[in-house]
Amino acid sequence: MRIYVDVFTNDEVLSDALDINEEYEGSIMAVTSKLVNADDGGNIDIGNCNAFGGGDEEQGGANDVEKVNNIISSFSLEEYFGSKKDMMTLMKERIEQMRERLKDNPTRLKAWEKGGQIENFVKSVFSKFDDCKFFMGSSYSDEDPKEGMPIIAFWKNDSDTGETFHYFKDCYKITKV
């Protein structure tokens, strides 16, 4: 299994155990989340619904079970509540830092330059800013919070199982476990 680690904070924020799709010519990794039971009890729906004496109201699981977002829960992501101006400032800082990091990799640097795929993605995010949520890795909640590269989540389709989380591919190093 491969774990994606934020290059700014060393926080683990994603795993290849999830279905990762690339967008914006391979510059953005997109993962659709889903709501899962919050307990660790390993409750598994084997699809028998009423086979063990349950009523119709029990189909699909109990309504009183706490549900959590699988990505937020699995990677202890922390929501970032800055203003649009705060997020714009942070994004500009991170983009400049990534340009510096990628200066020896012209193929990847191209996506981060003006008019590149990163700029196109960021513009689309800011055009629907109020519909987006921004997340940081677990170190954001420390006493001395560290800001990594924001992870951006928003609903793509009404039929999705949860919000789609968007990761800037070049901002992560991969570790194998």
CA distance 48 to 63: 17
pLDDT value of residue 141: 79
pLDDT value of residue 163: 96
CA distance 19 to 52: 33
pLDDT value of residue 62: 57
pLDDT value of residue 146: 83
pLDDT value of residue 57: 46
Question: Both tokens of residue 46?
Answer: 């084997």
Q: Which residues of the chain are under the pLDDT cut of 50?
A: 41-48, 50, 52, 55-59
State the pTM of this model: 0.84
pLDDT value of residue 177: 87
Contact 171, 7 (CB under 8 A): yes
Question: Both tokens of residue 117?
Answer: 């795929």
Q: Sheet of 164-168: strands edge to edge?
A: 21-23, 28-32, 164-168, 151-154, 133-136, 78-80
51 CB-near residues (< 8 Å, 6+ apart): none
